């Protein structure tokens, strides 16, 4: 039985969004996971998967720390001798990819969005060089939207022959079944995710304050998630005190919050493919989100949800007003259209099948 080593920077994200893929790989391969132990490592171990605790500084750009990580990956590859390596997120993609290239071990990388790396010109040039070194010998590189793949091609990081574009991680339609539309006495807008600037918090809070002035207690913002840092903590507390928002904190099961929502709002600045949008749509809720790659693909504008301009509070406010003024029956119909779109285009089973075929094309013959 061949061995697959999966390298990631976060066990929680891997468990939530790639568990079905890992289960499928385990049918024919030994699977080993390398990741920080920050949750779900025991769940993976319970499946019979050997886990290697690996510290990854997800946000820092300290050369010494990154060099240490690269050396850790080199030692790991030498000790494990995997037949295939699959990497997720920027540092495993780069340092794990370079280590695989140097040792001649086949590997595939997953680019789950461009993040902040390509926002700053100087940093973008440096990351481009690293990605060229890391991905030039990759068997394939998975992208979650066409625009991200095009960015890599334009930077000559890789060619179209070396890319595989998937509809994100897909959505498990059994885990997120359609739930009948709620009969709320007010319009509940839901934001679910990390509370941070790049998810559009400034725009969301500004739009919600205007909505509250216009509609009063007929609208409310439900916040489910955690602070990426404490920057927005005081502002959220003021919104709660003013009756504009309800803060629910981090929740391991988001399903009841999607089910109770009239509309899910994600005014993000950049995404690979937003899992929040897929989950909300699968449950049957209309969404408002930014007209950007990684968000627009999940929405049929005007049919299953509404698109707004990114980093534009006026545009977001306008679309939130449309939802607030819309009859509940029309919002319900948008949610049903959202569910149908997930069934057509984002079924997790199809995404897992396409992923395995791209990694092991000989198995699909």
Q: Assess whether 91 and 203 both reside in one domain.
A: no
Torsion sign (Cα): 267, 271, 276, 277: positive
**C-alpha dihedral (234, 262, 193, 123), degrees to nearest 10:** -100
Residues 315/285, Cβ–Cβ less than 8 Å: no
The whole-number pLDDT of residue 122 equals 67
pLDDT digits (tens, 9 = 90+) for 71-106: 999 999 999 999 999 999 989 999 999 999 999 999
pTM of the entire predicted model: 0.87
CATH number of the domain to which 122 belongs:
3.40.50.2000
| Encoded tokens for 43 | 């769940």
Percent helix, percent strand, percent coil in the chain, to nearest 5: 50, 20, 35
The whole-number pLDDT of residue 63 equals 81
Q: Assess whether 201 and 158 both reside in one domain.
A: no
The whole-number pLDDT of residue 261 equals 98
Q: How far apart are CA 113 and CA 147, in angstroms?
A: 10
Is the residue at 331 inside a domain? yes
Q: Assess whether 32 and 70 both reside in one domain.
A: yes
- Averaged pLDDT for residues 317-335: 97
Range in 31-45, 109-123, 337-351 the model is least confident about = 109-123
| Encoded tokens for 120 | 């700053």
Helix count and strand count (H, E) for the chain: 14, 13
pLDDT digits (tens, 9 = 90+) for 138-197: 999 999 989 899 989 999 998 888 999 999 999 999 999 999 999 999 999 999 999 999
Is the residue at 194 inside a domain? yes
Total number of residues shown for the chain: 365
| 30-34 CB contacts, 8 Å cutoff, 24+ apart | 30/1, 30/2, 30/3, 30/4, 31/3, 31/4, 31/6, 32/3, 32/4, 32/5, 32/6, 32/80, 32/82, 33/5, 33/6, 33/8, 34/5, 34/6, 34/7, 34/8, 34/73, 34/76, 34/92
Give the list of residues 6+ apart from residue 270 with CB closer than 8 angstroms, or none: 113, 114, 115, 119, 198, 292, 293, 294
pLDDT(365) > 60: no
pLDDT(123) > 80: no
Is the residue at 109 inside a domain? yes
- Averaged pLDDT for residues 5-21: 92
Split into its structural domains, the chain has a count of 2
Give which of 19, 27, 18 is closest to 363, Cα–Cα.
27
| Encoded tokens for 309 | 């301009």
Give which of 213, 252, 338 is closest to 288, Cα–Cα.
338
CA angle 123, 266, 150 (to 5 degrees): 45
Q: How far apart are CA 169 and CA 276, in angstroms?
A: 11
- Averaged pLDDT for residues 202-223: 97
Q: Assess whether 162 and 251 both reside in one domain.
A: no
Q: Assess whether 222 and 112 both reside in one domain.
A: no
The whole-number pLDDT of residue 336 equals 98
Q: Assess whether 341 and 351 both reside in one domain.
A: no
Q: How far apart are CA 240 and CA 304, in angstroms?
A: 29
- Averaged pLDDT for residues 127-132: 90
Q: Assess whether 196 and 339 both reside in one domain.
A: yes
Q: How far apart are CA 57 and CA 47, in angstroms?
A: 27
Residue with tokens 């003013």: 242
Residue 361 CB coordination number (10 Å): 11
Q: Assess whether 202 and 335 both reside in one domain.
A: yes
Q: What is the full DSSP assignment across 279-332?
A: HHHHHT--EEEESSTTTGGG--BTTTEEEE-TT-HHHHHHHHHHHHHS-HHHHH
Q: How far apart are CA 352 and CA 365, in angstroms?
A: 16
Is the residue at 179 inside a domain? no
The whole-number pLDDT of residue 117 equals 64
The whole-number pLDDT of residue 119 equals 67
Q: Assess whether 16 and 76 both reside in one domain.
A: yes
Q: Assess whether 210 and 250 both reside in one domain.
A: yes
Q: Assess whether 105 and 159 both reside in one domain.
A: yes
Residues 130/99, Cβ–Cβ less than 8 Å: no
DSSP type of residue 95: I
Is the residue at 24 inside a domain? yes
The whole-number pLDDT of residue 363 equals 65
- Averaged pLDDT for residues 41-48: 94
Q: Assess whether 223 and 142 both reside in one domain.
A: no
Give which of 195, 225, 202, 199 is closest to 317, Cα–Cα.
202
pLDDT(256) > 60: yes
Q: Which helix (H) or strand (E) element contains residue 74? A: helix 63-80
Give the SS3 label for residue 49: coil
Q: Where in the sequence is the domain holding 224, given as residue range(s)?
A: 187-345
| pLDDT grade for 116, boundaries at 50, 70 and 90 | low
Q: How far apart are CA 79 and CA 20, in angstroms?
A: 27
Is the residue at 233 inside a domain? yes
């Amino acid at each position: 039985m061949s061995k697959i080593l999966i390298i990631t920077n976060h066990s929680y994200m891997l468990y939530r969004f790639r568990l079905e893929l890992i289960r499928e790989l385990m049918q024919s391969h030994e699977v080993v996971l390398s990741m920080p132990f920050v949750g779900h490592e025991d769940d993976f171990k319970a499946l019979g998967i050997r886990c290697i605790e690996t510290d990854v500084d997800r946000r820092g750009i300290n050369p010494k720390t990154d060099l240490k990580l690269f050396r850790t990956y080199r030692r790991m590859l030498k000790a494990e001798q995997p037949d295939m390596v699959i990497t997720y997120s920027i540092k495993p993609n780069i340092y794990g990819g370079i280590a695989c290239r140097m040792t001649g071990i086949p590997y595939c990388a997953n680019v789950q969005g461009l993040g902040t790396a390509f926002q700053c010109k100087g940093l973008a040039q440096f990351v481009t060089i690293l990605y060229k070194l890391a991905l030039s010998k990759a068997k394939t590189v998975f992208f979650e939207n066409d625009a991200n793949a095009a960015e890599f091609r334009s930077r000559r990081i890789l060619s179209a022959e070396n890319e595989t574009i998937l509809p994100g991680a897909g959505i498990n339609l059994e885990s997120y079944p359609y739930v009948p539309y709620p009969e709320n006495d007010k319009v509940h807008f839901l934001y679910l995710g990390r509370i941070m600037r790049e998810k559009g918090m400034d725009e969301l809070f500004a739009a919600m304050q205007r909505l509250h002035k216009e509609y009063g207690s007929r609208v409310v913002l439900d916040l489910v998630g955690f602070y990426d840092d404490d920057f927005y903590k005081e502002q959220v507390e003021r919104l709660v005190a003013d009756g504009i928002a309800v803060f629910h904190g981090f929740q391991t099961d988001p399903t009841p919050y999607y089910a109770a929502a009239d509309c899910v709002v994600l005014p993000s600045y950049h995404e690979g493919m937003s899992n929040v949008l897929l989950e909300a749509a699968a449950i049957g809720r209309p969404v408002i989100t930014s007209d950007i790659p990684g968000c627009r693909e999940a929405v049929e504008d005007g049919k299953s949800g509404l698109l707004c301009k990114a980093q534009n509070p006026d545009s977001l406010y306008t679309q939130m007003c449309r939802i607030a003024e819309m009859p509940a029956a029309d919002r319900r119909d948008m949610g049903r259209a959202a569910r149908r779109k997930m069934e057509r285009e984002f079924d997790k089973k199809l995404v897992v099948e396409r992923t395995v075929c791209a990694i092991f094309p000989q198995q699909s013959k």
